[in-house]
Amino acid sequence: MTYIPDSKRYDTATFRRCGKSGIVLPPVSLGLWQNFGGADVFETGRAVIRRAFDRGVTHFDLANNYGPPYGSAEENFGEILRKDFRGLRNELLISSKAGWDMWPGPYGIGGSRKYLLASLDESLERMGLDYVDIFYSHRPSMDVPLEETMGALASAVHQGKALYVGISSYSPERTREAAQILKSAGVPLLIHQPSYSMLNRWIEHGLLATLDELGVGCIAFSPLAQGLLTNKYLHGIPENSRAKAEGSLQKEHLSEENLKRVRSLNEIAKGRGQTLAQMAIAWVLRDHRVTSALIGARNVAQLDDSLDAVKKLDFGDAELKEIDSYARE
Ligand code: NDP
């Protein structure tokens, strides 16, 4: 069926400025790491993307190796763009990345100029795009000079293949260095993409302060701790779940001790009139230095639930204290 986007999609949508840049992001962005690959049901992913856009989600995050198989999330996303989003490219903020393993041999992984620029060309080809909005170095490569990796990102911008650049999972020190190198190439560092959730607070120990000082935005990935910070595992491990698939969410995270904490957090969420997923997303957004919460969703129901987080973003001091007593790193 022909997709006609909801004409009211921006009526209540809010946006948050990305660092000191000119760009804004939706408070909740959608990532295609899982559930959008060749092994998944295409129409389910397509429905999720359409629904997200209808609800004011303008930012979609990909990487070269999202799937499985690698590359297939970009291929599927490209097909969705062609089928449903013709004429809407200028309303979308699309990102991709390179850094983790993509193809065999030494030039298909890491932070070399050869890998990053070849990978970006392949990502553009798979998605059928002339440019991505943001191109990331997906992870720090300690064996590659930072000048080379940042030089590749700057080249992507100079070649018109990316509008902005970002880095993911870099330490505060390396972030500072990266920003400096990029600046000298005339390309500002737009954004950092770190993991962040109630259960994973590493960015509070220096990175957020560094980003704030540098005027760089922050998009927090896995704010739901891959599903642990939702009502998903309160009563066992459902068939349709990452934990069941024994993929990226290992069963040891579902220890009775962890689940006890999650149940207590669920009670706090209930007291706020929210689901746990909504509270977990609101929690990462409570800090103004976090531009966007980057979530995943298996289906439209999960997406709808998560997007409703923005209905209640404020926390009282007592609530935050109580959350801290159950959710620690
Ligand atoms: P989340 O923490 O949001 O986990 C998403 C998973 O949580 C879903 O697949 C689903 O699990 C479950 N879930 C989501 N919403 C709900 C809900 N409302 N109720 C119950 N369960 C729910 O994020 P991801 O780990 O998926 O990461 C999000 C994005 O971040 C990725 O797509 C990617 O773009 C980016 N990312 C970046 C990384 C990097 O190195 N830069 C690394 C990892 C992610 P289930 O499928 O089991 O139902």
Question: Domains in the chain, please, with CATH?
Answer: 16-225+287-300 (3.20.20.100)
Q: Residue range 198-227: average pLDDT?
A: 97
Q: Ligand 1: residues whose CB is within 6 Å?
A: 31-35, 61, 138, 168-169, 193, 221-227, 230, 232, 241-242, 277, 294-298, 302, 305-306
The answer to whether 34 and 242 have CB atoms below 8 angstroms apart is yes
Q: What is residue 137's three-state secondary structure?
A: strand
**Which of 133, 251, 279, 298 is the pocket-test mutation for ligand 1 (most atoms within 8 Å of CB)?**
298
Task: Tell me what percent of the residues of the chain surpass a pLDDT of 70.
Answer: 100
> For residues 112 and 317, what is the distance between their CA atoms, to the nearest angstrom?
46
Cβ-Cβ contacts under 8 Å for 153 (sequence gap 6 or more): 116, 135, 137, 162, 165, 182, 187
| Helices marked H in the chain | 42-54, 72-84, 113-127, 146-158, 172-184, 207-214, 242-245, 256-271, 276-285, 300-307, 317-326
Q: Using CA of residue 305, residue 306, residue 307, residue 310, what is the dihedral sign?
A: positive
At residue 268, φ and ψ (nearest 5 deg) are -60, -45
Tokens representing residue 13 in the block: 């949508």
Q: Using CA of residue 291, residue 170, residue 181, residue 146, what is the dihedral sign?
A: negative
**Which of 244, 294, 308 is the pocket-test mutation for ligand 1 (most atoms within 8 Å of CB)?**
294
**Residue 128 C-alpha to ligand 1 middle, in angstroms?**
25
In the DSSP assignment, the letter for residue 38 is T
pLDDT for the residue numbered 1: 76
The answer on pLDDT for 154 being more than 70 is yes
Which residue in this structure is represented by tokens 């302060």?
209
Tokens representing residue 84 in the block: 């449903």
Segment 50-102, tens digit of pLDDT:
999 999 999 999 999 999 999 999 999 999 999 999 999 999 999 999 999 99
The answer to whether 208 and 289 have CB atoms below 8 angstroms apart is yes
In ligand 1, the atom with minimum distance to the C-alpha of 197 is 2
Nearest to 123 by CA among 69, 77, 58: 77
Closest CA to ligand 1's atom 14 = 297
Cis (ω within 30 of 0) for the bond into 69?
yes
Q: Residue range 315-325: average pLDDT?
A: 97
What is the residue type of 300?
Answer: V
The complex's ipTM works out to 0.99
Closest CA to ligand 1's atom 48 = 241
User: What is the bridge-based pairing of β-strands 24-25 and 16-17?
Assistant: antiparallel
pLDDT for the residue numbered 72: 98
Spacing of C-alpha 182 from chain mean position: 22
Q: How many CB atoms lie within 10 A of CB 316?
A: 9
Closest CA to ligand 1's atom 5 = 296
Segment 232-258, tens digit of pLDDT:
999 988 988 988 887 788 777 888 888
User: What is the bridge-based pairing of β-strands 217-221 and 189-193?
Assistant: parallel
